[in-house]
Structure 1
């Protein structure tokens, strides 16, 4: 089978455990032949009135012993086959998670979060079912069928055996016909489950927005439509799946009919005994399970194959950002040089063009500009979330593509526009990069970022659990906690991507003053809409449509009288008016 071949690497890895399990399963099939044979002999002896008490006791002990042996053997094969299959699930989950951590942002634009969750749960479970129940069904069905047919053929009557199995080739043809439809229906059902998973994930993540717009009813209708489609596709898959067992029973029923008809003829002719016919029918009944097992195997193999191909598709994805073939042994902070001729996302419209500037180690760079001007893209290229098509970024005289990704990113503390906080305590969020950090170090980082008093005011302090994505915190608290997490590692390069937009001007000024004192000799890069945050920067870039429109210090840019000067004056005027309004309100 195709999937079994694909999983051959795992079977080789766990061959010892599978061999033990298969041996135990094979012995079960052999021991399982004993009870029908014993029962048939007892029936013949009872019919002939020649069953001594001693032989009856012996037969009862033999039946009891075979039952205990089968109990022990069944425990073994379940442990070594079904138990080992769970190891496959652990390996695949780890491979997928590791793949997710290595992928660049373009991967997450291509694959939705709900899809990835479905791959890591439902698809893996389907594959594990094949490695466990599938292997069991294949081995048990094959051995049981083979041993039973040989016993029927050689120990009972070969003619009746041939007659009894005449309907089975037609059964094989029927299951193959259903199987092709089954494969397509399973594939559609798995894809529908991914859509459902993604819908639920997005709905839960955006529940605040949904409620704020009063969109609950429409969202419920949308979910109901998706849910109905999943139901419809799973029902279709279940319909094809449910055809297997009735098909098996129809052809087995024909086998029973032929057996009773010709078995009765052989008995009347004195060529067969009643006990032998009972034994034969019991063996024939034992063939029902192998045939049903093959149908079950076919079903889960189809589902498993679809799921494994979906997993393979994910594992085959390659990151846009490649490690250097011969990376430098270490990365260190130094002069930062941008020399970008051109950069665009996915061969689309140019995002950056002709970006050239330098920043000495320990200096502060400010980047401003309207939304969509390319500010965040400049920062992400330094983090190597993407690579430049034409040009390069140099750190300490070396193209950053020559550094190992881990070494480069270890130098950088990054606070993005959208803060990602985890459903953990404040302590665990701040010391995320190093769980060994002390509470004293955590509170020092919180003090630098102006969130120290907020934490102290919380009933449980550092032990406060903030909820998923910081649900229980204000926007300003989220930003300052995220900044604390970045600062606590004492990065050589700190990137603040509009990370103070949710705090007031006074708090922003205090934080920036703390950073100026704390980060002496270290490089800081800040993007901001509030230009007062950049007055002390050593170099300020004004971005427009992916180009540098203006550059210089705060004073130099004011002297130029361009966009920066006009925007700064407007912001100062707005702040003055706001302060005046506040003072009048206080007097009242």
Structure 2
């Protein structure tokens, strides 16, 4: 139960609903006990009336007596019906309090987890899969809700109903109480073991279903590759094998489920037989009336579900504790990227990097080694290098997605750690190497970084990114809905929409991380020429493996294996006849360079 103690703050928050739920449970159970007593009274009344009715019938007053007797039986029937309706009404109120409380806690818990996810650093997402993150905020929270709702509701019902019924049964007939309840502990233990089997097999089914879903998702995502390599038969065979595994596990679960209700009915039947047998002997000996046997059979049936639910509730609590442990594991993750002074200031864009080194904490790969450079406000820095040279790492460090292993980054002569994270990132426009667009309209994707959507800014950003004409050519223009990850657009269109999104927020610092790799050289030239006037008033960093993208920069650094091997402007680097010059020549010959 220790992991579940973390939920006590929510239980305290909704203590009013829990208290009402307890009150309604007590009242509901009172209306369960009363009908059983009315049944006893009705049966005893009928038996006694029958012994009186015979002499009255012989005396000629049989019809009058029969009318009175039926009136009393009708009254008993109406009272039992009223009790059942009242119980149903209070059961409704129990669900309206305890189950609604569990739904509210589920809502709060999901929001707490999601908010915590948002605040965690990028390193957290590098070491945890998206599927695992989603499972904890969906499946694990749902299991915890089962503890907060049904488990608490049925647990309270058991704790309240059991003492009420047992106490009353003992006060009526202790011996019959003992015999009638003998099978119930066996029932509870049996249900507990059956439930454990069900849960164990359900877990296996979930894992099998997850594998099956992953296989199908991957197959459909890569359908073009499957068709291109003519692997449809292999894909179908793999699906059949995954489906077969799921089918076998499902049938095994069905076999266990088949034991559930027969087991309950068998043990309830045994309890009823014992009650009738022992009670019948006591009736014969004159110790009790007929009505008590019927009353006790009703009590046994009343206690059957609460006792059955004991094993079920125990199983739910175990699963909830396991799920809450997983949730707590992520909630206990700390964000080590914090602001030292929480400074919120408008920046000019002067960037100073000194002896910057960085090792990725999860992989241990050294991405940067003693890198130093400086950019003045309004200048453009080009960063050239091959794949894995550390170009994107510089972008991540400038946005403080990570903190450097050693060295310093200063913006406007202040250490980057002093700035409020949100304030700093709002003033940086970032176009990532791997473009990500949301399943929303094109206009909303471009306006993503704006506090308020401004149509004029959106259209101007689209024009500057040379994607405006493509957008207006769509039937719905800026209202065109994009598919998952922007699949509606081509690679080049996605990159240009991503550029428009970055410049729409009018950042002080603009970082273009190899964002022109999916466009041809002609389009690249158009975009760069459009960006020239945008970059005039802001500090810009162009990261690329293409020399053509970076040659317009005021200063260029060439990275190799995390180190700066050359730096200068385009002319000076060409004059050096080094790596930059060689790269330029190769790209010119392969047709990648921009025409002068």
TM-score norm. by structure 2 comes to 0.89
Q: Distance in 2 between matches of 1:210 and 1:243?
A: 44
Is contact 1:493-1:523 (8 Å) kept? yes
Q: Structure 1 residues 438 and 271, CA, compared in 2 at 3 Å: closer, same or farther? A: same
Give yes or no for the alignment of 1:35 onto 2:50. no
Give yes or no for the alignment of 1:257 onto 2:273. yes
Q: Distance in 1 between matches of 2:406 and 2:585?
A: 37
Q: Distance in 2 between matches of 1:69 and 1:86?
A: 25
Match of 1:8 in 2: 8
Q: Distance in 1 between matches of 2:280 and 2:592?
A: 108
Q: Distance in 2 between matches of 1:220 and 1:9?
A: 50
Match of 2:146 in 1: 129
- The alpha carbon displacement at 1:244 in A equals 5.6
How many pairs were matched up? 577
Match of 2:120 in 1: 103
Match of 1:55 in 2: 72
5+ residue gaps, structure 2 = 53-67
Give yes or no for the alignment of 1:338 onto 2:346. no
User: What does the per-residue CA deviation read over 1:76-109, in whole Å, with 9 as the maximum and x for residues that have no partner?
Assistant: 1111111221112211221222122223333223
Q: Distance in 2 between matches of 1:18 and 1:27?
A: 14
Secondary structure of the residue aligned to 2:591 is: helix
Secondary structure of the residue aligned to 1:465 is: coil
5+ residue gaps, structure 1 = 580-588
Q: Structure 1 residues 384 and 11, CA, compared in 2 at 3 Å: closer, same or farther? A: same
Is contact 1:26-1:143 (8 Å) kept? yes
- The alpha carbon displacement at 1:492 in A equals 0.6
Match of 2:101 in 1: 84
Is contact 2:380-2:553 (8 Å) kept? yes
Q: Distance in 2 between matches of 1:242 and 1:110?
A: 42
User: What does the per-residue CA deviation read over 1:388-437, in whole Å, with 9 as the maximum and x for residues that have no partner?
Assistant: 11112111112212222212211111101111011111111111122622
- The alpha carbon displacement at 1:118 in A equals 2.3
Give yes or no for the alignment of 1:507 onto 2:523. yes
**Equivalent residues in 2 for 1:34-433 (5 A)?**
34-49=34-49, 52-154=69-171, 156-174=172-190, 195=211, 198-199=214-215, 202-226=218-242, 229=245, 245-319=261-335, 321-330=336-345, 332-346=347-361, 348-433=364-449
Secondary structure of the residue aligned to 2:434 is: coil
- The alpha carbon displacement at 1:484 in A equals 0.3
Q: Distance in 2 between matches of 1:436 and 1:472?
A: 25
- The alpha carbon displacement at 1:442 in A equals 1.1
Secondary structure of the residue aligned to 1:11 is: helix
Secondary structure of the residue aligned to 2:352 is: strand
- The alpha carbon displacement at 1:125 in A equals 1.8
Q: Distance in 1 between matches of 2:215 and 2:528?
A: 41
Q: Among 453, 471, 490, which residue is 2:469 paired with?
A: 453
- The alpha carbon displacement at 1:378 in A equals 1.3
Q: Distance in 2 between matches of 1:464 and 1:179?
A: 50
Q: Distance in 1 between matches of 2:350 and 2:223?
A: 45
Match of 1:486 in 2: 502
Is contact 2:157-2:306 (8 Å) kept? yes
- The alpha carbon displacement at 1:331 in A equals 5.8
Q: Distance in 1 between matches of 2:174 and 2:246?
A: 50
Is contact 2:371-2:564 (8 Å) kept? yes
Q: Structure 1 residues 451 and 13, CA, compared in 2 at 3 Å: closer, same or farther? A: same
Q: Among 539, 560, 573, which residue is 2:576 paired with?
A: 560
Is contact 2:555-2:568 (8 Å) kept? yes
Q: Structure 1 residues 348 and 524, CA, compared in 2 at 3 Å: closer, same or farther? A: same
TM-score norm. by structure 1 comes to 0.90
Moved more, 50-59 or 225-234: 225-234
Secondary structure of the residue aligned to 2:556 is: strand
Is contact 2:551-2:570 (8 Å) kept? yes
Moved more, 453-462 or 233-242: 233-242
Secondary structure of the residue aligned to 2:449 is: coil
Match of 1:585 in 2: none
Query: Once superposed, what is the RMSD of the aligned Cα atoms?
Result: 2.8
Match of 2:492 in 1: 476
Q: Distance in 2 between matches of 1:432 and 1:9?
A: 35
Q: Structure 1 residues 170 and 59, CA, compared in 2 at 3 Å: closer, same or farther? A: closer
Q: Structure 1 residues 4 and 496, CA, compared in 2 at 3 Å: closer, same or farther? A: closer
Q: Distance in 1 between matches of 2:450 and 2:594?
A: 42
Is contact 1:112-1:198 (8 Å) kept? no
Q: Distance in 2 between matches of 1:541 and 1:530?
A: 13
Is contact 1:333-1:411 (8 Å) kept? no
Match of 1:25 in 2: 25
